[in-house]
Amino acid sequence: MTTENGYFLNEQRSSFLSNNNQNQQLILRNKLVNDKISKSVNEGGIFNWFYHHEDNKENILKNNYEFNKKIINNNIMKRKVFDKDCNNQPLITTTSQIDENNNSNKLNNKYDEINKNIKENKELIIKENKERNLRFKRDIKNRLLFILPSTYAKRYFPASFYKFLCYISYLFWFIVGVFVLRKTQTATTTMIYVKNHAASISLNSIEQSTEFASLLRQIDKDSKPPSILMLNQYALNITFNFLCNTAIFPGVHERFIFVTLDEKSHKVLKQYWPNIRQFYWPTPSLYKQFSFAEGPYQLIYILRANLALALIKKGKSFWMQQQDTFWRKNLFDIGLEQKSGFDLLFDQIGYEKNSKRAEWINGANFYVRANKFTQEFFEAIATKLSHWYTPDMGIMIHQCHTWKTPHCEYIPHLIANSWEWMYTKQKNPPYIMQLDCETDGRSKLQQLARFGFYFTESDARTCNKESVYKAQQAMEKGEVDVGKGPVRLSWGRFQFKIYWWLVDYILCAPGIGPFLKPYLPMVGYILMFTMA
């Protein structure tokens, strides 16, 4: 029994020695962990450690807790095993039990102390991380200040001059704000006007009218596609100017069909040009004079889109043209509509093929081939114009660049160009040149006269053929007089110059420029002041 008891006592002593070794290992391990954390804090690397290794920190704390708990439980279980003999009787005396309890209390106290240190370290980490975030925000703010021009102006200019610059800046943004409010009011007024008068120019009203049935009978007699032009009484003068220009080309007037929108334009055109065909569509909402980007301006392009859609649904291909275009040569002689490989053929802005705005639709002269793809194209245009404050050419550009069908082609600049050609070296004069970009419709003819494109007598009805030939020669010789400096630049063209300059710089931006090309024209109304 003594031997056995001695054996168990030796096992007990071994157990205590083993427990003491494990306790020392536990204390040493936790000390190393705490020293590592403290060292990270002292060296200032705790920010990156906590910020980038948040999950690792939580795992370390959790593992420490589990390891400490496991060691304590193992020690308790070993004491329970070696404190009993083979008959399952306790061998530990009261003194031994007290020693065991003391050792257990010491371990628990050490465990509590370790957890307390870990908790304090965790709080320190959180505090330091908050301070790091605050410093990061302050650094960002300071760096942004170095980007602002006001920082350098304040540093390098006298206080009085810096104050003057501040006042100029305040004035500039005040003016911008006024323009934004004005543009918002114009857009709201325009769309309200469109909503109130949309019924008079709807697709359904056109298709069910006797006038449209008569128009279809006229077109059925033609061997070539007609050219559709819009006309109200306030565009009579520029229309007569256009007819005097094109009268020198045989067979051109026979293809024109004017959509007359009021009684006066209908009667006057019939009186002076009885052979010109008309589609009489009286529209009271378009009787008044209007300017660029106003309600009637938006409405007339909805009417044009709906009329185009009605013709397409009947299988009629056609040209859609405008009177503010000078014809140096007969466009119809080229036979553009006979070429294959396209569904829509558009004129384009930019004065050459390398222009950043090449393949942006001008919308003054284009040909439509009737098929299901062009029907969908104009259905979308009519719908968007009824709900969006945007130019119709902006929608056309977007759809041509982003839709797979229809297939859009572009008339070369050598055939159809815009007024920008006049401000170049005037080489390679085009067949036709569109002379728009006047935001005020009242001054359009006066602006054309300044450049030598006025082809009627003083009565604004009788043609002056000599002036037509002079304009042709001026273009062919590159001698169109546009004046020097901004004096001869009208307000409308000045706005478009600024707009094109801004757009060209945006389109030059790597990556973002090509991405924005289909979308920028849709915000043309917003970017322009349009102060008539």
398, burial (CB in 10 Å: exposed 0-12, middle 13-18, buried 19+): buried
DSSP string, 30-98: HHHHHHHHHHHHHTTTHHHHHHH-HHHHHHHHHHHHHHHHHHHHHHHHHHHHHTB-TTS-B---HHHHH
Q: Which two three-digit tokens encode residue 202?
A: 């709807």
pLDDT, greater one: 4 or 400: 400
Highest averaged pLDDT of the listed ranges 70-74, 102-106, 155-159, 286-290:
286-290
Q: Reading across the β-sheet that carries 227-231, which strands appear in turn? A: 277-280, 256-260, 227-231, 318-321, 361-368, 344-348, 408-410
pLDDT tier at 272, thresholds 50, 70, 90: very high
Under CATH, domain 184-527 is a member of which superfamily?
Spore Coat Polysaccharide Biosynthesis Protein SpsA; Chain A (3.90.550.10)
Distance, in Å, from the CA atom of 66 to the CA atom of 326, rounded to the nearest integer, reads: 90
Give Cα separations from 296 to 192, 237, 265 (angstroms). Answer: 11, 19, 17
d(CA 233, CA 425) in angstroms, rounded, equals: 37
- What pLDDT, on the 0 to 100 scale, is given for residue 334? 94
> pTM higher than 0.75, yes or no?
no
Higher-confidence residue of 24 and 143: namely 143
The phi, psi pair for 299, rounded to 5°, reads -65, -40
- The mean pLDDT of the chain is 82
Work out the angle at residue 238's Cα, subtended by the Cα atoms of residues 234 and 240, and round it to the nearest 5 degrees.
Answer: 105
* Cα 40–chain centre separation: 48
pLDDT band for position 149 (cuts 50, 70, 90) = confident
Q: What value does the mean pLDDT take over residues 394-405?
A: 96
The pLDDT tens digits of the residues spanning 50-101 come to 344 444 555 555 555 565 555 555 555 544 444 444 445 554 444 555 555 6
C-beta separation of 347 from 365 below 8 A: yes
Which alpha helices (H) appear in 198-319, and where do they start and end?
203-207, 210-220, 236-246, 263-272, 295-313
Instruction: Reduce the DSSP state of residue 364 to 3 states and report it.
Output: strand
Burial of 117 (0-12, 13-18, 19+ CB in 10 A): middle
Distant-in-sequence, close-in-space partners of 134: CB < 8 Å, separation ≥ 6: none
- Calculate Rg over the CA atoms of the chain: 43
- What residues contact residue 460 under an 8 Å CB cut-off, 6+ apart? 236, 237, 240, 241
C-alpha triplet 417, 419, 423: angle, nearest 5°: 110
Q: Say what the pLDDT of residue 21 is.
A: 52
CB-based contact 28:106 (threshold 8 Å) = no
- Classified as helix, coil or strand, 323 is coil
Residue 45 scores a pLDDT above 60: no
Instruction: Tell me the three-class secondary structure of 260-288, residue by residue.
Output: ECCHHHHHHHHHHCCCCEEEECCCHHHCC
Name residue, tokens 């056609």: 318
How many C-alpha atoms does 223 have within 13 Å on its Cβ side? 2
